[in-house]
Structure 1
Amino acid sequence: MAKPLAIYTDNEDIDPTPGIRLLERHGFEVRFLETLDPERILAESRGAQALLVGYAPIPDWVIAGLPELRIISLISMGFDHIDLDAARAAGVWVTNLPGVATEEVATHALGLILATVRDLPFFERVVGQDWNARPDVTPPRLSEKTLGLMGLGRIGAKLAEFASPLFGEIVGYDPYLAQNPEAAARLESLGVRLAGFDEVLASADVLSLHLPLTGETHRIINAESIARMKPGSYLINVSRGQLIDSPALALALDRGQITAAGLDVLDTEPAPADHPLITHERTIVTPHVGFLSAHTLAEYVRIQAQNVVLLAETGVPETVPVVDPR
């Protein structure tokens, strides 16, 4: 009897070896393609029951071309690169990793807030040249400022918990909270004032994005929304780079409409070295590493593989699925 086939499409810089071993111990044949190319994925995944995906796009025609596929198991929380409707129609499970890196990403967001507001890159640049140099914009006192949170899921809520002792006020927007009164009550207990999108834009001195990438949120921070932000505010993004219109943000930084931005994600990844937001002197950019810790590296690989194993053995994956075709 042939072994079930599991295909790793790509895994970026995370070592999949523990996941491969876990799958092999449970009777899977495992192959690792190391590609983001959907055509190659389709050509080399014939007969696969499982795709273990990093950032490779899986469009509808790949799913349609793999009739034996049962699960697409992701190694991230985001799933905008998967055609969920096609998976649902084909009876394919899609799982992600919700909650694994909540603490890490919220910590990274807080780190970007502090480094950006305190203008640490400026001081690092000048310390050996002019000890008494000062930036054009004097850092504000956080206890006198408002933190705005766009998106109040796990990461946004954790950042609110971390930031509550630092800011004078936290105001947040999340369209899904109306369906979750318990979560709304918990956020209010942390001191988060819930408000509409426009009010958060207008009142935040520091705006931090924690939204999924959807048709509605694509470039939600654009020239129009930036114009409604408080002049001289700060922008933080640890979610998805496509939430921001990059040229509009670069122009707002040039004009001082936004004082500075701290970004862990960009609209193109890996980003070219000459990307305007990497080269801008008013940004701090990190290479999508908000998730990174020894804990998450181990858990990402384990849970991604375990979702495949448990679906095969019990009919249900370990994590709550993004697509449940039952």
Structure 2
Amino acid sequence: MSQIVVLSRAGEASLPPASVKALRVRHGVRFLQRHDAPTGEEAAELLAGATVLASTNATLPVLDDALLDRLPGLRHVVLYATGYEHLDIEGLAGRGITVTTLPEYATNGVAEHALALIFASATRIHLANDKARGRAPHHVSLRGVEISNRTLAIIGMGRIGRRLAQLAGGLGMNIIGVDIDPDAVASAAAARIRMVTHEAALREADLVALTASTIEGHFPILGACELALLHPDAFVVNVGRPVLADTDAVRDRLLARRLRGYAVDEVALDPGDPIDAVLMAEGRVLQSAHSAWWRDEVLARGAQMFAQAIQAAADGAPIHVVGPRDHALAAAR
């Protein structure tokens, strides 16, 4: 019998009731409802005796040596997330601890969000809404572009990138893809997505979508040199981590009118900064505050998949385990 500790903001409501009941038939389960991550000392007490730690990113304690030394029985970490770059996968593996993620629960939601940001950037609908509410300068133009027949370069051809390619291709966009992972390249090629080099993609693109993961040593993907390859009317949409694009370089290109728009699923530019505030007021920056995954269907799917992953780990047969190679060459999920 495994001892499971679930850390989350929703507590027991993180899992479907039937799944909670099924877990308790065979294992010991404790639900700890928190709004932030416990300190190392708190975590050592809360997780004492745990075999399986299941947590959201918001409530996950720092899994450093000091904490892990006090949790000798821990064998599995189940993360309610797709990204895991903040974890020392090799170090955990060396202690015999597996890490499970939920690679597919938000794929469609994030891909649709990327498409929404593409539409918003091209149509300037966010600025039109601001103008209608008296929150945008009257002199700022609402003029946009059509996306049909435009070239969309998707950087990061994992699950999200391929789903975005399917959606955008159905709207008549010309899709090209980029990835450093041979498996992702093969999967994209099998889906008949034209794969090109990073430089070629930027030179050809009308719009760029960043759907890659944050691999140490491989970001920013769009720095000053890369942005210089884009034509002045290009748009960039980032549904990955903000570090995938050099925010200072993006700001410089926008100010120089060498980039038409930047949309990011985070708050990367500061609304309180006078320069950033102008870019936002003019609709050239759109920030969606890490909301891409926040969908009814995603939450329902995530709860079910979280429960399945916890059950599998507790039974000693974890699924969707992240290995060292996955950590080094993770495509967007």
TM above 0.5, yes or no, is yes
Q: In the TM superposition, what is the alpha-carbon distance from 1:8 to its structure 2 partner?
A: 2.9
Within the alignment, does 1:60 sit opposite 2:61 as a pair? no
Partner of 1:316: 317
Partner of 1:238: 239
Do the aligned residues in 1 keep the contact of 2:11 with 2:32 (CA within 8 Å)?
A: no
Helix, strand or coil for the counterpart of 1:258? coil
Do the aligned residues in 1 keep the contact of 2:10 with 2:33 (CA within 8 Å)?
A: no
Matches within 5 A, 1:35-74: 35-39=36-40, 40-55=42-57, 56=60, 58-61=62-65, 62-74=67-79
Within the alignment, does 1:154 sit opposite 2:152 as a pair? no
Q: Let me know the Cα RMSD of the aligned residues.
A: 3.0
Q: In the TM superposition, what is the alpha-carbon distance from 1:312 to its structure 2 partner?
A: 2.4
Paired with 1:28 and 1:235, the residues of 2 have a C-alpha distance of 48
Q: In the TM superposition, what is the alpha-carbon distance from 1:301 to its structure 2 partner?
A: 2.1
Paired with 2:7 and 2:141, the residues of 1 have a C-alpha distance of 47
Q: In the TM superposition, what is the alpha-carbon distance from 1:52 to its structure 2 partner?
A: 1.4
Partner of 1:165: 170
> Structure 1 residues 194, 57: CA separation in 2 closer, same or farther (over 3 Å shift)?
farther
Q: In the TM superposition, what is the alpha-carbon distance from 1:302 to its structure 2 partner?
A: 2.6
Q: In the TM superposition, what is the alpha-carbon distance from 1:259 to its structure 2 partner?
A: 1.4
Identity of aligned residues (%): 24
Partner of 2:150: 145
One-letter amino acid of the counterpart of residue 304, structure 2: R
Paired with 2:152 and 2:194, the residues of 1 have a C-alpha distance of 10
TM-score norm. by structure 2 comes to: 0.82
Helix, strand or coil for the counterpart of 1:142? coil
Helix, strand or coil for the counterpart of 1:115? helix
Partner of 1:186: 190
Do the aligned residues in 2 keep the contact of 1:250 with 1:276 (CA within 8 Å)?
A: no
Helix, strand or coil for the counterpart of 1:91? coil
Within the alignment, does 1:215 sit opposite 2:219 as a pair? no
Q: Deviations over 1:157-211 (max 9, x none)?
A: 11111111334421110111x34675133332xxx32101111122211100111
Do the aligned residues in 1 keep the contact of 2:120 with 2:126 (CA within 8 Å)?
A: yes
Q: In the TM superposition, what is the alpha-carbon distance from 1:48 to its structure 2 partner?
A: 1.2
Do the aligned residues in 2 keep the contact of 1:206 with 1:236 (CA within 8 Å)?
A: yes
> Structure 1 residues 168, 308: CA separation in 2 closer, same or farther (over 3 Å shift)?
closer
Paired with 2:20 and 2:188, the residues of 1 have a C-alpha distance of 40
Paired with 1:66 and 1:234, the residues of 2 have a C-alpha distance of 48
Paired with 1:296 and 1:138, the residues of 2 have a C-alpha distance of 34
Partner of 2:328: none
One-letter amino acid of the counterpart of residue 31, structure 1: F
Partner of 1:304: 306
Helix, strand or coil for the counterpart of 2:148? helix
Helix, strand or coil for the counterpart of 1:257? coil
> Structure 1 residues 12, 106: CA separation in 2 closer, same or farther (over 3 Å shift)?
farther
Partner of 2:265: 264
Aligned residue-pair number: 311
Q: Deviations over 1:65-90 (max 9, x none)?
A: 32111111011111112111111101
Do the aligned residues in 1 keep the contact of 2:238 with 2:264 (CA within 8 Å)?
A: yes
One-letter amino acid of the counterpart of residue 124, structure 1: N
Paired with 1:252 and 1:196, the residues of 2 have a C-alpha distance of 22
Paired with 1:304 and 1:168, the residues of 2 have a C-alpha distance of 35
TM-score norm. by structure 1 comes to: 0.84
Q: Deviations over 1:118-152 (max 9, x none)?
A: 1112211223669xx68447322323421110011
Partner of 1:225: 226
Helix, strand or coil for the counterpart of 1:300? helix
Do the aligned residues in 2 keep the contact of 1:150 with 1:173 (CA within 8 Å)?
A: yes
Matches within 5 A, 1:86-165: 86-127=91-132, 135-136=140-141, 138-165=143-170
